[in-house]
């Protein structure tokens, strides 16, 4: 793991990224103090497998039935929600 200063990192960013793509990790320092780490991104380890949960998931036949108009109005901000009734709370 190499430490490079900020000026070097700015002027040689493309080269540093190439080294990182090859698997190296680089520390960027400002005034000699490490402030950032340039590291390769981790790739997904296992590719997705289509149909892996087939037969294990159930979706209701009416899952896409339109919502009631009053609920749609609430989502769209056309009406304000009804205030909840206040409960009597004793103060100690």
Q: What share of the chain is helix, strand, coil (3-state, %, to 5)?
A: 25, 15, 60
Percent of the chain with pLDDT over 90: 55
pTM summary value: 0.46
How far, in Å, CA of 76 to CA of 18, rounded? 48
Domains of the chain in start order, with CATH, are 2-38 (3.40.1620.10)
- The predicted-structure confidence for 45-74, as pLDDT tens digits, reads as follows 788 889 988 899 888 999 999 999 999 999
Question: Which tokens in the block code for residue 59?
Answer: 């979706």
DSSP state of 64: T
- Rounded to whole angstroms, what are the CA distances from 15 to 31, 33, 34? 21, 22, 19
Model confidence at 92: pLDDT above 70: no
- Are 36 and 27 in contact, with CB atoms under 8 Å apart? yes
Model confidence at 25: pLDDT above 90: yes
- The predicted-structure confidence for 77-86, as pLDDT tens digits, reads as follows 988 877 777 7
Q: Quick one: pLDDT at residue 41?
A: 87
């Amino acid at each position: 793991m190499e430490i490079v200063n900020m000026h070097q990192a700015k002027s040689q960013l493309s080269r540093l990224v190439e080294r990182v793509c090859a698997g190296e990790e680089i520390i960027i320092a400002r005034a000699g103090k490490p402030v950032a780490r340039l590291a390769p991104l981790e790739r997904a380890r296992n590719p997705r497998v289509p149909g892996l949960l087939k037969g294990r998931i159930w979706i209701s036949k009416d899952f896409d039935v339109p919502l009631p108009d009053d609920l749609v109005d609430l989502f769209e901000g056309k009406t304000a929600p009804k205030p909840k009734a206040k409960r009597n709370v004793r103060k100690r």
